[in-house]
Structures are given as C-alpha cells and as structure tokens.
Structure 1
Amino acid sequence: MAWRTLSILTNAMRMAGGTLAITSILCLSNLASAAQQDAGKTIMAKGDVMAHNDNAERQLVRRSPVYKADLVTTGDTSTSQLRMIDGALLSMQANSELRIADYEFSPQNQQGNVSMSLIKGGLRTVTGALQQNSDNYRLTTPVASIGVRGTHFEAEMVEADLYLAAWDGIIFIEVTAANSGEKFSLGPTLRYQFAIVRADGSVEFLLQTPGTFSAGHSSEIYAQPIQQFALVDVSEAENNIYIAQSVNQKYIDNERFAANWLPDDPLVVSRTGSVAFDLVEQHSVVSSSGSISDFTMSITVDFDASTVPTGNLSFVDSGGQWFAAFNGLLNQQGLDVDVNFASHGNNLASGSIEGLLIDQAQGILGNLNLAEINTPSITADGAFELRESKP
C-alpha cells in the first residue's frame, strides 16, 4: 500500500504543476486519512495483540488507536481491552480474531452504525452511548448474526459452536449456519439469557451460565452505583416488554473488566501497601458553567501491585454535579489512569486525569480535564494536590 501511494504521488507531481499537484497530494492524503478512521483506542494489551490492515500490521499497546477495517488478533495467553469511540468497552480473550468492518458514532445525535465480525475466540462487551437497535449494531460470527439493544453480553466460539450470554439488555440472534434462519432473543428479562448455536444450525437454550464462561468471564463487571440519571424506558416490540434503565447507573471498572495483570514498567518507590490519598491539599478548577464548590477527590494507590485500583472526584457548578470515576496503573511517568465514567448533571461526559507522586510518594500532584459528550463546549479543568489523610 505504501509503495503504491508513493508511486501515485510521484506521478501526480510529474504530470501536473503547482496547484494541481498540491491538490492531488491533499486529496490522496485525505483518502489515506479516511481509510484510517478511528474506531477506538486500546485500554489494555497483554501479550501478543496485533492490528492488521491493508497487508500491514501494528503491535497494539496501551492507548494505541484501532481503526475501521482493522483485524484485531490476540495470541496465546493474551488479552486486550478496547474503548470504542462511543464509550463502549470491548474485551477480547486469548486466541481471538475480531474484524472491525464499520464503527461510526455522532455525539450530536447519539446515532451511528457498528458492524464487526468475531472470526474466532471470544469477546465481552458493554455497549456505549450509541443508541442501538437491532439493525444499527451488528456482530457476525461463523454461525449467527447478533444485534443488540443497550446491553452487556458475551460471545465465544468453542470449536465450531457459538456460546452466548446476555447479562444485561437484549441481544437478537439470527442463525446463519446451514441456512437455518432461526431467530430468537436472549436477556435476563426474557425466558432465556444463555444459549449455544451449534455448527449445524441447531440451538440449545440454557438455564445456567455456560461453563465456557466460568474461567476469565463474569457478570460482575460493575462497581459502585452512581446516582445520576433518570429512568429510560426502551420498548422491545418483539417480546412486548420494557427495559428500565435504573437511576443507579453503574460505571465500568477497567481493571475488573479486563482481568488481573501487572504493568511491565512498575514505578520504583519506597512505599508499600495500599494508600488512599483523599485529603485535598489544594485545587484550582475552572468550569465553563461558573464557579465551583464542594470539591472532593480520592485516589487509592496499591504500591505493591503498581496499580491505581480506584479513584473518583466530584464538584458542583451551576449546571449540576461533575463526577468522574477512574483507575489504572503506576509507571515510570507517574499515574497512568483512564476515566471509566464521567457525568455533569444528567449529561454524560468524558475526560482525562493525570498525576505524579511527589515528596517520596507522600502526595499526588495532577490535573484534570472534563467535557460533556454532547456539548463539548461545557468543560471543567484545573489542577489538584492530594495528600494521605492522617489518623
């Protein structure tokens, strides 16, 4: 691909002068950029995790982008967690292959399209802000096609059979093996939430969690409830039911979602054990919605494991309460964390938090940047200093 692009650029420069040549180059550059549209980023990559695109391959590491048309693969004893552009979390197990055919999302209207193919192995996903229906979110497998509506589900190919678990919401399955054409739905509010689609197109419904999900898979990926949002009723015409999204919204814990793992470059400090830095020594935070109050923040650091297992912050401005929950790692550069959940009043938000250990790991100095997803002009950012509360 690279040599072909270089040849086209060279010919364009030879055949046309000045503006035409520049225009040709810019158009080709735009086409190249369009071919690599972001679909998400890598939250965690342990072991051999690769992205293949246009006969080229990239090693995925923490914060590496993933693009539309990427084929993401994991090797033996490897796992990967991706955060997609709509905030969805997707965890791949070892020896898996996932083709991202399309992933589009508009923050303005919460609409888009997702098309992915699980070629082999297994994945678990919690869908994001994209307003799903059974048509605009599609995961295909060698034996069935899956549509989703606001859900958390797992899919795993075991030999030639597809094992399914719908932990939350509803998934819609159409069996494609042997031209079966059978259609059914799974979910905790329906008759069944577990099933196996066999290679011959037959379907086996289960009352208990499939044994294949018992190792490294769990429905317990949620952390503490967040009192933020009103009820959202979603009708499901096929089954004549309503799914109520509780006000007890829950954020996703990256560490528990991905599995236990340690960084390759742990921070070397003299401290040991787990320490909670929850005394706000000072802060300077500015909001586009006016002055703030009631600033609180806490970061727990596990020095033995070189992780940041939990962290949260909150403060209030005229638009309501800002809230963020996060966790991550320690490395040579300091705190390397990702925001799991953020909100401002009843609006979803996103952002980043950075920090450094100071005074022989007796304090944390950092900064924060938050913004509403649907209205990016509504922001809050600033700096903070945390200390350990003394008994």
Structure 2
Amino acid sequence: MRSNFMLYVSPVVALFSLALSAQEQASNAGLTLMARGNVTATATDTQQSRNLNRKAPVFNIDQVSTGAQSQAQFRMLDGALLALQSDTELLISEYKAGSATEQGSVVMELVKGGLRTVTGSIKGDAGNYQLKTPVGSIGIRGTTFQLSYINEIMLVGVWDGQIELQITRSDGTVENVTFGGGQSASFAQITVAGQVTPLLSPPAEFAGEAAGDEANTDQGSSSGAASNTAFTDATNLPSAQGSEDTSFIAEQAYQGSSNQTPVAELIAARSGSYQYGTLEQFSVQSTEGAVTDFQVSMTIDFDNGTVPQGEMSFNDAGGEWFAAFNGVVNVDQLELGVNFASHGNERAQGQIDTLFVDGIDQILGQFVLSETENPATTAGGIFLIK
C-alpha cells in the first residue's frame, strides 16, 4: 500500500523570520464564512494552532481541522466556496490568485473527512488545480463536487461539471478516471487500492452530510436533488385551494445571477439574528382538500450560521398540519431538517428545501409533508417569505 498521500510543506526560512509571524509570511488563501464547533488552523511551519471563527483568514500553510459535530465554510481568494464536514482535515499548500500574466494555482490535500466545493476562477484546464486525496489527485474543469473519505473508502459526487481523478493503484499503475460531464458516472466509491465502483445515485453518506448536524435529520443528498424531489412531489399533488399561480418562482432573482453580489458574501456581511416571516406568495396542495391559514416563519442567526428555529402550519379537512424545523447556513444556501411534524392527531414527516432570492432579503421554499402511518395523506407546495 502506497503511503505518499501526505504533503510536507517546508518551513518558511527568511532573514526576517524571527520578526515576522507565520501568518505574515504566508499568503492569504481565503476567509472563514462560518465555523461551528471546534474549527482550528495549524500552521505547518511552526505547528502553532489557532481557533477559526467568522471572518478569520486561512493561509497557504494551514492545515484546517474540524472536530466532531463541527462544520466550517470558506470563501477562497478566487471566489471558490469550500465547506468542510465534521472530523475533516484539509491541508492548504498553495493558493495563488491569477494575474494578467500568470494563472492562479491551487494545491490542497484532503487528509481525512469530507468536503463540498463550488470552484472559483481557478480551473484545472492547465493542470493548475490539484486536490490530493487518499486515493489519488483530482483535477477539475469548473465544477461543483463533493468528497467524503470514510473507512478507507472515498465517495465521489459531481453535481455540476467534471472532475478527473488520477489514481495510483496498489501495483503502481496509474489511471485517469473521469466523473461527471454527462458522459461518465457522476457518483462512485473508490478504495485506497484504486478499485472504482460507479454508483447510479448519490451515496447515502452524502444525504447525512447535507442536512447539517444541528437539524439531526440526515436528509437531502444535495440541495439541487432534494429541491427537485420536493418540487416534483409537491406539484404532483391533487390540486386544492391556495395561491395557484406559481409564476412568482420564475420571477425571482436566482442566487446564481452573475450581476449580483454572491449570496455567500451577503451572508458574511450580515450580523445578528433576522426573522423571515412575512408571507409574500404561496401555492399549497393537500390530498385532504382545501388548504387554509398557511403560515411559515424562520429565524436565521447570521453570526453562528444557523437556523435555530422555524415553524410551518396550515389546515385542511383532516386537521392542522404543523412542522418545526431548524438547520444551518451552508456556504450560500439553507439546509433544513424537520424535527417534528403532525397532521391532526397523527405524527408526520417531511422535507423542506429553500434558497435565498433577491440577495438574501427573501427565501423561496418548497416542502412535502406526509403522515407517518398513512403516507398517502400528503401535503406540499411552495412559498416566498421575507
């Protein structure tokens, strides 16, 4: 078994090293958007550790670590978004911004744990983006992807774009394997010996990653996949009362619009707690007939990157539907989990998916609820609150 997964970064040696701190000698690689729980950065030249909190910088000599029940999110200097799950170690060896005469470059290593990233301006077309993992090195071509290293198995998911993984097998042979891009499998598991098993759907471990520890519900493999599922389920329900006009969805300024400030930057700039509870529009259906008295609200703690509480309620012929939920702000989106739900005297279960619109002044959401004992009794829909 090969053992060349760890990357050693030589200490910075300079005439003024005694006067300069490690942070001053190192280049800035990014900014912390959110740190929940135990999140630290250790300078590899001095082995000095520091706790990371919101707006704290990370440098190209840092090994960033998250503890149990901890998460961290970063905006890197090229605009990339990087989210680390709990029990993760990521070594940042090189992160250089491009210029008019020189391309930017990235060298990082996922030592253990998992991450999800939306890449920025530094792409891998010229081999200038390298993410080392225990099963090989990854190059990218402008993408959104997720990795999780669990029990010596690397799980790979490509949500958008394409990645190329250079695998060194146990016998020393090297193979380049492509994932995503519409022509290759988007999901796979890879052993440290180099065996690749394509998967037809996201691995179950990714579902637990998306919901966030605070919600403690382990649901949703990705915001896109979960949102599409919830939307399909909700809009396929038998028509009932509510705001039947759903055209307001298309009218919203989606968070990825290129002429707007990135949502992650707006979130990083906001502080304190803010309650979203003014219902702008909605469309809700139920298998039990007409829906009335629809209400939904949630509180977002921007300092801690959490959604400490949220509630939804409405009525149909079977009684009141009620759902309590919470979650986290994950880079540029909300990830929510339903903690308790009911319909009349029956227990229920469900899923809520949301995204920021109009900057971060409004929240567009979609949901599905169903009775636990009678899943055919279902309600769902979409809403817009501010």
Query: Per the shorter chain, which TM-score range?
Result: 0.5 to 0.7
Aligned to 2:145: 153
- TM-score, normalization by structure 1: 0.54
For the 8 Å contact 1:38–1:66, the answer to whether it is kept is yes
Is there any run of 5+ residues in structure 2 with no aligned partner, and where? 1-10, 211-220, 228-252, 281-295, 308-328, 334-358, 360-386
Separation of aligned partners in 1, 2:83 and 2:189: 20
Amino acid at match of 1:98: L
1:11-160 → structure 2 map (5 Å cutoff): 29=19, 35-53=25-43, 54-108=46-100, 111-133=103-125, 135-160=127-152
For the 8 Å contact 1:142–1:177, the answer to whether it is kept is no
Matched, 1:197 2:190: yes
After TM superposition, give the deviation of residue 220 of structure 1 in Å: 2.2
For the 8 Å contact 1:80–1:91, the answer to whether it is kept is yes
For the 8 Å contact 1:134–1:147, the answer to whether it is kept is no
1:228-247 → structure 2 map (5 Å cutoff): 228=258
Amino acid at match of 2:156: L
Aligned to 1:219: 222
After TM superposition, give the deviation of residue 142 of structure 1 in Å: 1.4
CA 149–304 in structure 1, closer or farther in 2 if over 3 Å, else same? closer
Aligned to 2:159: 167
Aligned to 1:305: 299
- TM-score, normalization by structure 2: 0.54
After TM superposition, give the deviation of residue 111 of structure 1 in Å: 2.3
CA 211–32 in structure 1, closer or farther in 2 if over 3 Å, else same? closer
Separation of aligned partners in 2, 1:75 and 1:146: 25
Separation of aligned partners in 2, 1:272 and 1:113: 40
Q: Deviations over 1:144-171 (max 9, x none)?
A: 1111111110111011111101111110
Aligned to 1:274: 277
SS in 2 for 1:224: coil
For the 8 Å contact 2:166–2:175, the answer to whether it is kept is yes
Separation of aligned partners in 1, 2:155 and 2:261: 26
Amino acid at match of 1:43: L
Separation of aligned partners in 2, 1:134 and 1:195: 25
After TM superposition, give the deviation of residue 225 of structure 1 in Å: 5.8
Aligned to 1:364: none
Aligned residues: 248
For the 8 Å contact 1:89–1:126, the answer to whether it is kept is yes
Is there any run of 5+ residues in structure 1 with no aligned partner, and where? 10-23, 230-248, 278-301, 310-327, 331-336, 342-352, 354-391
For the 8 Å contact 1:134–1:149, the answer to whether it is kept is no
SS in 2 for 1:121: strand
Separation of aligned partners in 2, 1:155 and 1:339: 16
CA RMSD of aligned residues (A): 4.4
For the 8 Å contact 1:149–1:170, the answer to whether it is kept is yes
For the 8 Å contact 2:74–2:331, the answer to whether it is kept is no
Separation of aligned partners in 1, 2:125 and 2:87: 29
After TM superposition, give the deviation of residue 94 of structure 1 in Å: 0.3
Q: Percent identity?
A: 34
SS in 2 for 1:214: helix
Aligned to 2:244: none
1:284-323 → structure 2 map (5 Å cutoff): 305-307=299-301
After TM superposition, give the deviation of residue 55 of structure 1 in Å: 1.3
Q: Deviations over 1:111-131 (max 9, x none)?
A: 211000000000000001224
Amino acid at match of 1:202: Q
For the 8 Å contact 1:226–1:250, the answer to whether it is kept is no
After TM superposition, give the deviation of residue 108 of structure 1 in Å: 4.1
Separation of aligned partners in 2, 1:175 and 1:339: 29
Separation of aligned partners in 1, 2:173 and 2:187: 19
After TM superposition, give the deviation of residue 188 of structure 1 in Å: 4.1
Amino acid at match of 1:101: S
After TM superposition, give the deviation of residue 274 of structure 1 in Å: 2.5
CA 104–181 in structure 1, closer or farther in 2 if over 3 Å, else same? same
Separation of aligned partners in 2, 1:126 and 1:47: 23
For the 8 Å contact 1:175–1:197, the answer to whether it is kept is no
Separation of aligned partners in 1, 2:191 and 2:300: 43
Q: Deviations over 1:26-56 (max 9, x none)?
A: x865795663210001000000000001210
1:361-372 → structure 2 map (5 Å cutoff): none
After TM superposition, give the deviation of residue 205 of structure 1 in Å: 1.1
SS in 1 for 2:97: strand
CA 208–108 in structure 1, closer or farther in 2 if over 3 Å, else same? same
For the 8 Å contact 2:123–2:140, the answer to whether it is kept is no
Separation of aligned partners in 1, 2:146 and 2:331: 23
After TM superposition, give the deviation of residue 253 of structure 1 in Å: 5.6
Q: Deviations over 1:162-184 (max 9, x none)?
A: 11011111100111241241211
